[in-house]
């Protein structure tokens, strides 16, 4: 007769609790590892636990390179598709708090898809103003109200509130409450970028217009279209894989181009396309979207004739383009930070 001897959650680490949750009812005996090591003993078999944070590709790569033991399970809040692919290719065991897992240790074999990812309540407090200020800080803007206001075009009050929120989330710090030393500074760019990217993903879907183009070279074609936008004094900025191909080349080819433009409605997007003698078409290879924040519009810069969105937004947009996009996003982070 099977009976589970389950430890209570009290005293268990977050990683141990997540791992405990993925074991099936057929597992009979589970108890914490003794000593300082994190893990569980299952039917006499010791399984180590390594917490890897959010579960993005950038979180798991350093651990993969360290080659954890065969009896170790990497545990995260939610393993991304890119992280899952990297772990699978490396032959490593993993689980996350959604209930998903791929574990093969001795006689223990578990494969679970888990529940859909839920939006953290904190992310809902990431207003467009907070996202704008985070973009500015990640791009190196000094963490003061005046500097972020100049970089984003927001009001003084919005910048002050955004900086306060980011401080509450311990994503930025300051050495003093007032005076010259009160400027916020980013102590962990990776942590701020991860929180920012998740907040971007949790925003309502952008309006967009897909455009049919016959360009053989998408980058050159976009450069020509950019000249047309410039002639109309219309701000624009490329993002996603096309922008990454300029900032930090990784993918061998660019099949689609996503570009932000100074527009507020579907009608404006369609009119802008029509002015360039382009027509909307389903699954078109050119995507027009309004600028998502003032920071993206203000912090865009020109590289090789293309207006490029600020790198944090390019990073966040790449994460929405599948496993290859996530790999390109991680490469972008490494290039920006000189790794």
**CATH number of the domain enclosing 297:** 3.30.460.40
With cut-offs at 50, 70 and 90, classify the pLDDT of residue 35: low
With cut-offs at 50, 70 and 90, classify the pLDDT of residue 176: low
Residue 119, number of CB atoms within 10 A of its CB? 11
* Most confident option among 97-111, 129-143, 192-206: 129-143
Where helices occur in the chain by DSSP H, the ranges are: 14-22, 57-66, 81-89, 128-138, 145-152, 156-168, 189-201, 218-231, 240-247, 266-275, 294-299, 311-319, 322-336
pLDDT of amino acid 8: 54
Give the pair of three-digit tokens for residue 78. 């939610």
pLDDT at 180 over 70: no
Q: What is the mean pLDDT of the chain?
A: 87
Sequence-separated (6 or more) residues with CB below 8 Å from residue 61: 86, 330
Say yes or no: 236 and 268 in one domain. Answer: yes
Say yes or no: 329 and 225 in one domain. Answer: yes
* Number of structural domains the chain divides into: 3
Phi-psi bin for 232: left (phi > 0), alpha (psi -120 to 50), beta? alpha
Say yes or no: 107 and 126 in one domain. Answer: no
**Of 200, 203, 202, 133, nearest to 171 (Cα)?**
133
Average pLDDT over residues 75-96: 90
pLDDT at 181 over 70: no
With cut-offs at 50, 70 and 90, classify the pLDDT of residue 25: confident
Answer yes or no: is 3 within a domain: no
Q: What share of the chain is helix, strand, coil (3-state, %, to 5)?
A: 40, 20, 40
Residue 107 or residue 283, greater confidence:
283
pLDDT of amino acid 3: 42
pLDDT at 1 over 50: no
pLDDT at 24 over 80: no
**Of 108, 71, 74, 107, nearest to 88 (Cα)?**
74
pLDDT tens-place string over residues 137-148: 999 999 999 999
Answer yes or no: is 311 within a domain: yes
Yes or no: say if 253 and 313 are a contact pair by the CB < 8 Å rule: no
CATH code where residue 42 lies: 3.40.1350
Q: Cα separation of 77 and 107, whole Å?
A: 26
Answer yes or no: is 6 within a domain: no
pLDDT of amino acid 115: 74
pLDDT of amino acid 7: 55
Residue 312 or residue 339, greater confidence:
312
Answer yes or no: is 28 within a domain: yes
pLDDT at 309 over 90: yes
Average pLDDT over residues 192-219: 92
Say yes or no: 152 and 90 in one domain. Answer: no
Chain centroid, CA 64 distance in Å: 19
pLDDT of amino acid 219: 94
Domain that holds residue 91: 14-112
Q: Cα separation of 246 and 310, whole Å?
A: 12
pLDDT tens-place string over residues 232-283: 999 999 999 999 999 999 888 899 999 999 998 999 999 999 999 999 999 9
With cut-offs at 50, 70 and 90, classify the pLDDT of residue 47: confident
Q: Cα separation of 321 and 323, whole Å?
A: 7
Say yes or no: 23 and 82 in one domain. Answer: yes
Chain centroid, CA 244 distance in Å: 14
Average pLDDT over residues 100-124: 76
> Could you tell me whether strands 209-212 and 257-261 are parallel, antiparallel, or unpaired per DSSP bridges?
unpaired
Among 201, 219, 237, the domain-final residue is 201
pLDDT of amino acid 58: 87
pLDDT at 9 over 60: no
Quick one: what percent of the chain has pLDDT higher than 90?
Answer: 56
């Amino acid at each position: 007769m099977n009976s589970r001897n389950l430890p209570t959650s009290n005293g268990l680490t977050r990683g141990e609790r997540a791992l405990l949750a993925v074991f099936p009812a057929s597992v009979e005996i589970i108890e914490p590892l003794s000593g300082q090591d994190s893990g569980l003993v299952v039917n006499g078999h010791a399984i180590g636990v390594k917490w890897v944070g959010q579960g993005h590709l950038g979180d798991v790569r350093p651990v993969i390179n360290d080659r954890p033991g065969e009896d170790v399970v990497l545990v995260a809040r939610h393993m991304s598709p890119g992280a899952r692919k990297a772990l699978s290719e490396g032959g490593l065991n993993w689980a996350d708090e959604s209930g998903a897992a791929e574990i093969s240790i001795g006689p223990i074999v578990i494969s679970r898809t888990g529940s859909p990812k839920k939006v953290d309540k904190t992310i809902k407090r990431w207003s467009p103003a907070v996202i704008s200020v985070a973009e500015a800080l990640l791009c190196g803007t000094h963490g003061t109200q005046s500097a972020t206001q100049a970089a984003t075009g927001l009001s003084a009050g919005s910048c002050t509130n955004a900086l306060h929120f980011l401080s509450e989330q311990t994503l930025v710090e300051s050495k003093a409450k007032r005076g010259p030393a009160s400027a916020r500074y980013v102590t962990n760019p990776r942590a701020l970028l991860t929180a920012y990217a998740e907040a971007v993903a949790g925003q309502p879907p952008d309006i967009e217009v897909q455009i049919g183009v016959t360009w053989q070279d998408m980058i050159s074609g976009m450069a020509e279209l950019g000249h047309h936008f410039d002639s109309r004094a219309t701000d624009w900025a490329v993002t996603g894989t096309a922008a990454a191909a300029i900032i930090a080349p990784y993918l061998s080819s660019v099949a689609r181009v996503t570009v932000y433009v100074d527009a507020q409605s579907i009608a404006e997007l369609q009119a802008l396309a029509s002015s360039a003698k382009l027509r909307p078409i389903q699954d078109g290879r050119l995507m027009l979207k309004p600028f998502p924040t003032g920071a993206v519009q203000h912090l865009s810069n020109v590289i090789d004739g293309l207006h490029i969105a600020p790198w944090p937004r390019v990073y966040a947009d790449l994460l929405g383009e599948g496993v290859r996009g996530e790999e390109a996003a991680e490469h972008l982070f490494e290039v920006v930070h000189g790794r």
